[in-house]
Chains A and B, each alone.
Chain A
C-alpha cells in the first residue's frame, strides 16, 4: 500500500520474505533499515492461513485431531496431545495407564525431534551446514519409530480422544532403548560441532537479549521464556497427564557465557532440554505397563455438555499451546481457539531486534524457532 508508506531520509523499506530461506516458512518481515542496521521490524503474517478455527466449527471432535497435526507440523504429537487432553478434560474421561505412558513417550520423542530441527536450522541460518546433517540423522531414527507405531512420518494422527490410534508394535520398546543409547552420546557431538564453535558463539552471544519482564509481558513461553532465566515449565509447574511421575530438570539460560536471555541461551536451553526429554522417555519406558487397552471407553458420539468450556494448555517444544473450546452440546465445537506458542513468541521479535544488523535479525529469528503452520493456522 503505497499510501501508507512514509518516506524518510536515510532509510529504506526492505521486504524480507515471504520467500526467504531464513524465515523458516512463509513469513514476511517488513524492515526499515538504515544501511545494514534494522530500525524497525514489522512481521506480516497470514501467507499460510488455512482457516483452522473455522474448519473446526464444522467438524466433529474426533475429526479435528488430524487438523491439529498440521498446526505445528514439526511437533505433531504434541499438538495432538494438547487437543485431546483439552477435550478429555471437558468429558472427564479416565484413561488407561498404558495410554498415558505411550503419550508421554511419543511427546518427548517428538520434542527431541523438533529441537533437533531447531538446532540444525539455527546452525544453517548462521552458515553452518554440517550440523543439520547430523541432527537430521538422529531425527530420522525417531521418525522411523513413529512410522512403526502409526504409519506416518510427519503428520501422525496418533493420539485420539480417549486413547491412541494403534498400540505400540512389537519391538518398539527395545528399538527406543536402542535409540536412546545412541542419542545420549550425540549431544556432546552437537556441542562440539556447534555450541562451542567460535564463529557460532560470537554470532549468538549477547545478540537479541530478551529481559525477564519483557518475556513475561509478551507471554513468551517454552525455551524462549526459559532462555531468559525463568524456571517455568508446565510439565513441572502445572503437571498434566502423568508428568509428575518423572524426574527431570528444567534448564534455564544463565550468564556463564554472555548475558541471560540472548540468542545463545535460547539455543542452549533446547540442547539441554533434549537430554531431559531423553531421561523422561527412559523412565517412561521402564515403567510402561506391559499390557492393557489403548482406548478408554468413550461415548460413541462425543458431545460435551452444553455451555461447557475449557482452556487447557500444555508444554509443546515451542512453548505453551492452549486450546480454548466452547461447547453448545452438539458433536461439533461451537468455538475453538488455539493459542499458538510460536505466534506469541514471534510477537516479541520487533521489540528485541531493533538496532541490530540484518544478519543478526536472522540469528534472533532463528533463536525464536518459529513454525509458520502454527502461527498462521
Chain B
C-alpha cells in the first residue's frame, strides 16, 4: 500500500485529526493532533489493512515553539511504511505514550525525554536514559545552555 492509500484509510475515521501531510518526500508522513496521538497509533497497529506491527524509530525535534515527535512505522505483513508526526507545545503540553502498543517505544521515549524534554503520559518509567539522572536541561533543544558545573566538575564551554 502506498502513502496515499494509507492516508485515505485514516481519513475515513480521523479526517479532523490529520492536520497535514507530505506524501511526496523520501519518507512520507502525516501530522496528527496531539490529543488523538494514542488513538490513531492504536488504530494503525490493530487495523487489519494497515497492521503496522513494527515501530522502526521514534525521534523528536525542536522546531521552535513546539517539539515535533515522529514515529516511523512499518508493517511486516503488508510491507508498507508511514511516519506520524505530532507537534507538542514546549513545556506546556504532554503527549501520550505508545509504549503500551509497541514495547520498543519505551526506550525511545525515554531518550526523547532525556534529550528534548518531551513528557510522555502514562509511560511506565520516564527517567533519563543516556544522561545522568541529575543533569540539568535538555541538550538537543535549540536554546539549550549547558550547566556550568556538574558536581563541582566544570562543564566545557561550546566554542562557536
Q: Which residues of A contact B (CB under 8 A)?
A: 1, 45-46, 49, 51, 53-54, 57-58, 89-90, 214, 216-219, 230, 232, 237-238, 308-313, 320, 322, 324, 326, 334-335, 337, 339, 343-344, 347-348, 351, 376-377
B57–A216 contact, CB under 8 A? no
Given known contacts A218-B104, A322-B56, A324-B59, A230 and B76 CB-to-CB distance under 8 angstroms: yes
- Minimum CB–CB distance for A45 against chain B, Å: 6
- Minimum CB–CB distance for A60 against chain B, Å: 15
- Nearest B residue (CB) for A335: B61
B72 beta carbon closer than 8 Å to chain A: yes
Q: Which residues of B contact A (CB under 8 A)?
A: 25-27, 29, 53-57, 59, 61-62, 70, 72, 76, 79, 83, 102-104, 106-107, 115, 128-133, 139-140, 158
With a cutoff of 8 Å between Cβ atoms, the chain A residues found around residue B27 in the complex are: 309-312
B54–A216 contact, CB under 8 A? yes
B130–A376 contact, CB under 8 A? yes
Closest 3 CB pairs of A and B: A219-B104, A337-B59, A339-B57
- Minimum CB–CB distance for B143 against chain A, Å: 13
In the complex the two chains form, what is the Cα distance from A58 to B103 in whole Å?
32
> Contact check: which of A230, A238, A322, A334 meets B72 at CB < 8 Å?
A322
> Contact check: which of A45, A308, A322, A351 meets B129 at CB < 8 Å?
A45
- Minimum CB–CB distance for A129 against chain B, Å: 33
> Contact check: which of A58, A326, A334, A343 meets B107 at CB < 8 Å?
A343
- Nearest A residue (CB) for B133: A1
- Minimum CB–CB distance for A346 against chain B, Å: 8
A324–B133 contact, CB under 8 A? no
With a cutoff of 8 Å between Cβ atoms, the chain B residues found around residue A54 in the complex are: 115, 139-140
> Contact check: which of B56, B76, B102, B115 meets A53 at CB < 8 Å?
B115
A322–B57 contact, CB under 8 A? yes
- Count chain B CB atoms within 10 A of each CB in A214, A217, A308 and give the residue with the most: A217
A49–B61 contact, CB under 8 A? no
In the complex the two chains form, what is the Cα distance from A49 to B133 in whole Å?
13
A217–B72 contact, CB under 8 A? no
- Nearest B residue (CB) for A214: B103
Q: Report 7 cross-chain contacts, Cβ distance below 8 Å, ordered by A residue.
A: A54-B140, A216-B53, A308-B26, A311-B72, A311-B83, A324-B57, A339-B59
With a cutoff of 8 Å between Cβ atoms, the chain B residues found around residue A217 in the complex are: 53, 102-104
With a cutoff of 8 Å between Cβ atoms, the chain A residues found around residue B158 in the complex are: 58
A90–B26 contact, CB under 8 A? yes
A46–B107 contact, CB under 8 A? no
In the complex the two chains form, what is the Cα distance from A237 to B81 in whole Å?
13
With a cutoff of 8 Å between Cβ atoms, the chain A residues found around residue B72 in the complex are: 311, 322, 324
With a cutoff of 8 Å between Cβ atoms, the chain B residues found around residue A335 in the complex are: 59, 61-62, 140
- Minimum CB–CB distance for A333 against chain B, Å: 10
Given known contacts A46-B130, A237-B79, A311-B27, A339 and B104 CB-to-CB distance under 8 angstroms: no
